[in-house]
Structures are given as C-alpha cells and as structure tokens.
C-alpha cells in the first residue's frame, strides 16, 4: 500500500531520474576528461547513454513484477483460505479457462510462444488482464462481506488488498507502457458479464466465489509471468535480475 505512490510519476521518481541523469552526465564528463581516444569515447558515451535511459525502466519493471508477485500470492492465499473450511469438492470442478470472462484474450500457451511475443504485446496483454479484473474484484469485494464462510473478514480484507495492489499496478503499467510505444498502449476490453449478484443459496454463492477466485489466480499468474519475462528482457545489462 505504501508503494502506491511510487507508481505515479511524482516527485520522488522524477527526482531519482534526474539524479541518475545527473550522475550519468557527470560520468560522461569525467570519461571525456580522461582523454580517451575517439572511437572508445564514442562507444563509452553510447553505452552510458543507453544505461542512463535503461535504468529507470528497469527499476519500474522490477517494482511492477514485485507487485504482481504479491497479487498472485494473495490470490493463492485466498483460494487456500476458501478451501480451509470447506472440503475442496469445488476444486475438482476447476473452471475451464473458456468459462472465465478473460478467456477471450489470446495469450501465449507455453514458454516458446511467450518468448516470441514482443514486449509491447506482453505489456498490452498484462494491462488488458488487469483492466478486465477491476469490475469482478469489486463484485467479489462487496460479496465477501456477506459471504457465508467463517473466514469472511479475512477474505474480505485480502480482496481489498488485492484491489489496491491491482490499482497501483495498473497505474504503474500505464506509465511504463507510455515509454514503450503505441502497441503497448492498446488495451483489449474484457467485460465482466457475471452481474453483481453471485446467487441466492449458499452453495451457489460459494461455488461462484470459488470459480471467480480460480479465474483470478490463473490471470494473476499470467500477469506475473509476462511481467517477469519483460523484466528479464529489459535487464540485459543486469543479468542478475532475471
């Protein structure tokens, strides 16, 4: 929650970028003053400029992937908490991906396909998925308060946390995508048509809740994987980030 402000392009980040640029400029100056030969100087300058420009995006991507990691672990915890009091009979009826409201989005199905997708498309996919979960999360949140489940307060607070993380992650990805070009800006709309009411009787409500949570878990895993691939690709100069 306290990292929310980092996602916005506010003072701290701008200042940080400015500081980095300042150090980059001083680096360049010192390099120039050392009187390196012309060719080497050019290459070093290019390297420094590339590094200077790449570092902020790296940092942002790192934070974004940390945020998405947190989101995914939260959704996993939610599922576990739902199952802790009821036998996982609902587990056997795992939702078919085609049933989730986000199934219309074409995502890569395995690693090879994922590695072939361009960065902008990966970013666009992640953002579309995030955007598509804003409404369902609100539905989950309102229904969690009256959920016929013993751990409903804990579930409700986790869903609220999820909403906050999702919101800040969406903001951050908006900023990141603005650096990546128009392809990253495109978002597919994934409307949620399930309605605000989850059902009338206890079993239906719980089933629907479980179903939504499973879809959420899958989608948060997708977002997390895409962002991690993006982070690794952007961190060519820093392989330890992979």
Partner 1 sequence: MDPEDVLLRQTGPMPSGAPKGRKRTMLRDSGDIGAPAASRPQIYYCRSPNMEVFTCWWHPVEQQAVYVLTYSKDTGPQLECPDYTSGGLHSCYFDKSHTSIWTYYCMTVTAMTPHRNYTSQQHCLDVVEIVEMEAPANLSVSLRDAGGDEVGHSTLLSWTYPAPEVLREGWITLVYELQYRRVGEDDNWKAKHPLREPHVELFGLRPGDYVVRVRCRSHNSRLWSKWSATLLVSVPNRLPAGKVLVLVLVVGVGAVALLVIAFGVIPQSRRIKDYFLPPIPKPRITGIDPLLLKKGNFDEINRHFSNFHGYRPPSYSVELWDQVSADGIYLSTPRDCGILDRDRGTSVAIQNLFPVQNSSPYVCGTPPYCAVPPEAFAALQDAPSPWQQPETAFISGSDYSTMVRLGVPDASVSAPDPGRAPVQDFYTCVQLMRDSGEVHLVPCLPAPYCHDFLLPPVPDAAKREEEEKKSKRLAEYQARKNAAKDDDDDDRSNAADPLLPVSPDDTRGSEGRF
Verify binding: residue 237, partner 1, rule CB under 8 A: no
Verify binding: residue 222, partner 1, rule CB under 8 A: yes
Q: Which H or E run contains 201?
A: none
Q: Are 131 and 189 in contact (CB under 8 A)?
A: yes
Answer for which of 112, 189, 193, 195 binds partner 1 (CB under 8 A) is: 112
3-state SS, residue 31 = helix
**Distance in Å, CB of 227 to partner 1, minimum:** 9
3-state DSSP percent of the chain in helix, strand and coil, to 5: 75, 0, 25
Verify binding: residue 109, partner 1, rule CB under 8 A: yes
Verify binding: residue 208, partner 1, rule CB under 8 A: no
Nearest-angstrom CA–CA distance, 20 and 222: 32
**Distance in Å, CB of 63 to partner 1, minimum:** 14
Radius of gyration of the chain (CA): 22
Nearest-angstrom CA–CA distance, 223 and 72: 9
**Distance in Å, CB of 88 to partner 1, minimum:** 12
Verify binding: residue 107, partner 1, rule CB under 8 A: yes
Site of tokens 């078919």: 96
Stretch that binds partner 1, among 4-12, 159-167, 194-202, 222-230 (CB under 8 A): 222-230
- Other Cβ atoms closer than 10 A to 34: 9
Verify binding: residue 97, partner 1, rule CB under 8 A: yes
Nearest-angstrom CA–CA distance, 68 and 170: 10
Stretch that binds partner 1, among 30-38, 49-57, 90-98, 152-160 (CB under 8 A): 90-98
Nearest CA-CA partner of 103 in 79, 127, 124, 128: 128
Verify binding: residue 131, partner 1, rule CB under 8 A: no
Verify binding: residue 114, partner 1, rule CB under 8 A: yes
Verify binding: residue 119, partner 1, rule CB under 8 A: no
Write the binding mask 48 to 87 for partner 1: x where contact by CB under 8 A, - elsewhere.
Answer: ---------------------x--xx--x-----------
Q: Are 1 and 40 in contact (CB under 8 A)?
A: no
Binding site for partner 1 (CB under 8 A): 69, 72-73, 76, 92, 94-98, 107, 109-112, 114-115, 218, 221-222, 224-225, 228-233, 240, 242
């Amino acid at each position: 929650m306290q990292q929310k402000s980092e996602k916005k392009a506010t003072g701290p980040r701008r200042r940080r970028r400015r500081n980095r640029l300042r150090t980059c400029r001083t680096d360049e100056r010192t390099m120039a003053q050392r009187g390196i030969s012309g060719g080497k100087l050019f290459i070093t300058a290019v390297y420094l400029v590339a590094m200077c420009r790449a570092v902020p995006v790296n940092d942002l991507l790192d934070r974004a992937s940390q945020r998405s990691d947190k989101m995914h672990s939260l959704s996993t915890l939610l599922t576990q908490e739902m199952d802790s009091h009821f036998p996982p009979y609902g587990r056997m009826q795992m939702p078919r991906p085609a049933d989730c409201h986000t199934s219309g989005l074409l995502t890569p199905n395995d690693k090879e396909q994922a590695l072939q997708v361009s960065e902008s498309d990966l970013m666009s996919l992640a953002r579309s998925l995030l955007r598509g979960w804003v409404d369902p999360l609100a539905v989950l949140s309102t229904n969690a308060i009256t959920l016929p489940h013993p751990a409903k307060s804990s579930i409700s607070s986790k869903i609220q946390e999820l909403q906050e993380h999702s919101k800040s992650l969406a903001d951050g990805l908006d900023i990141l995508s603005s650096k990546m070009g128009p392809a990253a800006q495109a978002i597919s709309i994934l409307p949620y048509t399930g309605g605000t009411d989850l059902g009338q009787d206890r079993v239906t409500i719980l089933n629907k809740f479980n179903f939504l949570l499973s879809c959420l878990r899958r989608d948060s895993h997708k977002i997390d994987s895409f962002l991690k691939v993006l982070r690794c690709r952007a961190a060519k100069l820093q392989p330890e980030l992979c």
